[in-house]
Amino acid sequence: MSIEALKQLIPPPVAPLEVGEEASWQRTEHRLDTQLPNDYKSYIDTYGTGYFGPEDFSFLWPLNPFSATLSFFRFQRLLLEAYEECRLSTPHECPFATWPVAGGLLSWGRTDNGDTLCWLTENEPDRWTTIVYDSKFIEYERFSLSMTEFLVEWLRGSITPCMFPHFSCQVSFFSCS
């Protein structure tokens, strides 16, 4: 499982912040009316709330349904409302529907540049792949990778979405709420 590879690359915090419990995950999935990918749930339970980036620079923030600050549901609504507006004006740049439409985009992360990381909710949740959109929803890249596979490959330097900066220093995980 890619969570193990991620833990080898970036050790998780000893006491992760805002992790889920079984009942919390059940409520979250009931609210969404879908199960979430198991690797995402393992990620949140292992790392909690925080970001990836070089020291003193927060870059990639995975969304957490148990965080008041980095709320999965709040960002989901805001980001996908903005996407739908762009989709109406430039449908060729925004070819995907949004959740809860089957096969629609469901966001799982964001960057400090305003980029959005989403699942393309085709198939079963554990087979969802990643779409990365720039901040204006003009440019996107599709990766046939789960959330944690994407993080592992990005941290290894195997992939760099065109809208991401190239870091010449060590990227780490920093807990915060």
* CATH number for the domain that contains residue 81: 3.40.1580.10
Q: Virtual CA dihedral for 47, 120, 135, 25, nearest 10 degrees?
A: -30
The two tokens of residue 76 are: 């989901």
Predicted pLDDT of residue 65: 94
Distance between CA atoms of 55 and 57, rounded to whole angstroms? 6
**pLDDT tens track for 68-80:** 876 788 888 888 7
**pLDDT tens track for 27-57:** 999 999 999 999 999 999 999 999 888 666 6
Domain count, the chain: 1
> Is residue 93's pLDDT more than 60?
yes
Q: pLDDT band for 8, please (50, 70, 90 cuts).
A: very high
* Least confident segment among 118-127, 128-137, 144-153, 160-169: 160-169
Distance between CA atoms of 134 and 21, rounded to whole angstroms? 33
**DSSP output for 131-152:** EEE-TTSS-EEEES--HHHHHH
41 three-state secondary structure: helix
Instruction: Give the gyration radius of the chain's Cα atoms.
Output: 15
Q: Which domain holds residue 31?
A: 2-175
Short-list 60, 23, 64, 59, CA closest to 41: 64
